[in-house]
Structure 1
């Protein structure tokens, strides 16, 4: 078991991860390797990562929610499907080797990132038409599939959610607010699941969770202040970071 000195680098990295995650998702690509580097076992690292993730995603959700950057009518319809998908994904991981899908998902997320960047207007303006048949036809199954991926593999879940919301007309700031809200719900569900297993290292997860929440609050405020152009630049960075993790880490 590591000593308290690991928090000297764990806290600033958790803060940075919270900031990045609140803007464009992908904070877990920083916190999970950090927990492994601290010397935690895989089970401890995954469980503790969910503990601190609920702090960060919860903090970002509050910021976006208070400023009206969450479409509540749509999100409340998607959360149950994302939770159901996440539970199914966690179940399937016992029967299918996740490594077989890492390269495929890495290619997909690079394609998604390229599409966002090549289309200069994508996600820059808010053109959400409301709860139309087309919007529901895309977001309801989309939330379930992305939730399943979150439970099964995980990296880039928030990034995929942002793309889904931008696809139906939200600008990237509102896409981020919606994505963080759903992420908070799935993180909370996973936290309760891992809580039963007793693998969480509380003395690491709680202070890193607070640091993650502070970073997330700053990141959400920065995204709302600077707008979709800032979010788009961060989105490109996160796409590369998530793809690198999927390709290189097994």
Structure 2
């Protein structure tokens, strides 16, 4: 079991993860390796990461919600599907080796990132048409698939969700707000599942969770202040981080 000295690097890295995750997702690409570096078992890493993640995603969600950057009528319809998909993904992981499609997902997220970054206007303007048939036909099954992926593998869930909301017509700031809200719901659901297992290192998860929440607060405020162009730049960084983790494994 690690001692308090690990917080010397754990807290600043948790803050950075919260900041990046609040802007464009992908915070787990920082916190998961950090927890492994501390010497925790794989079960402790996953459970403790969910504990700290609910603080960061909750902080970001609250900021975007207060700022009016969450499309509540749509997101509240999508949360049950995200939770259902996440639970199904957690069940399927017992029967399928995640390494089978880890590389494939890495290629897909690189392609998604390239599409967002190459198209100069993508995500910069808000063109959301409301709760139309097309919107629901895109977001309902898309959220189920993203939730399933979150429960099954995880890295880049928020990044994929941002892309889905951008396709639905939201600018990248509102896409981030919607994605963080969905991510908070799935993190909370996973937290209660892992709570039963008793693998959480509470003192570590709570202290890093506080730093993660502070980073998320700053990140969400920065995203709303600087706008979609700033979010798009951070999105590109996150795509590279998530892809590297998928290709390298772990």
TM-score, with normalisation over the residues of structure 1?
1.00
Once residues 210 and 249 of structure 2 are traced to their aligned partners in structure 1, the CA distance between those partners, rounded to angstroms, is 27
Once residues 137 and 149 of structure 1 are traced to their aligned partners in structure 2, the CA distance between those partners, rounded to angstroms, is 19
Q: How does 1:157-172 map to 2 (within 5 A)?
A: 157-172=157-172
Q: How does 1:76-95 map to 2 (within 5 A)?
A: 76-95=76-95
**Deviation string, structure 1 residues 88-121 (Cα, Å, up to 9, x no partner):** 0000000000011100000000000000011111
Cα RMSD, aligned residues only: 0.4
Runs ≥4 residues deviating over 6 A: none
Counterpart residue number, 1:150: 150
Once residues 2 and 57 of structure 1 are traced to their aligned partners in structure 2, the CA distance between those partners, rounded to angstroms, is 25
TM-score, with normalisation over the residues of structure 2?
1.00
Counterpart residue number, 1:178: 178
Once residues 190 and 124 of structure 1 are traced to their aligned partners in structure 2, the CA distance between those partners, rounded to angstroms, is 32
Once residues 132 and 107 of structure 1 are traced to their aligned partners in structure 2, the CA distance between those partners, rounded to angstroms, is 31
Q: How does 1:19-168 map to 2 (within 5 A)?
A: 19-168=19-168
Corresponding residue pairs, total: 250
Once residues 98 and 215 of structure 2 are traced to their aligned partners in structure 1, the CA distance between those partners, rounded to angstroms, is 30
Counterpart residue number, 2:208: 208
Point out where structure 1 has 5 or more consecutive residues left out of the alignment: none
Once residues 25 and 42 of structure 1 are traced to their aligned partners in structure 2, the CA distance between those partners, rounded to angstroms, is 22
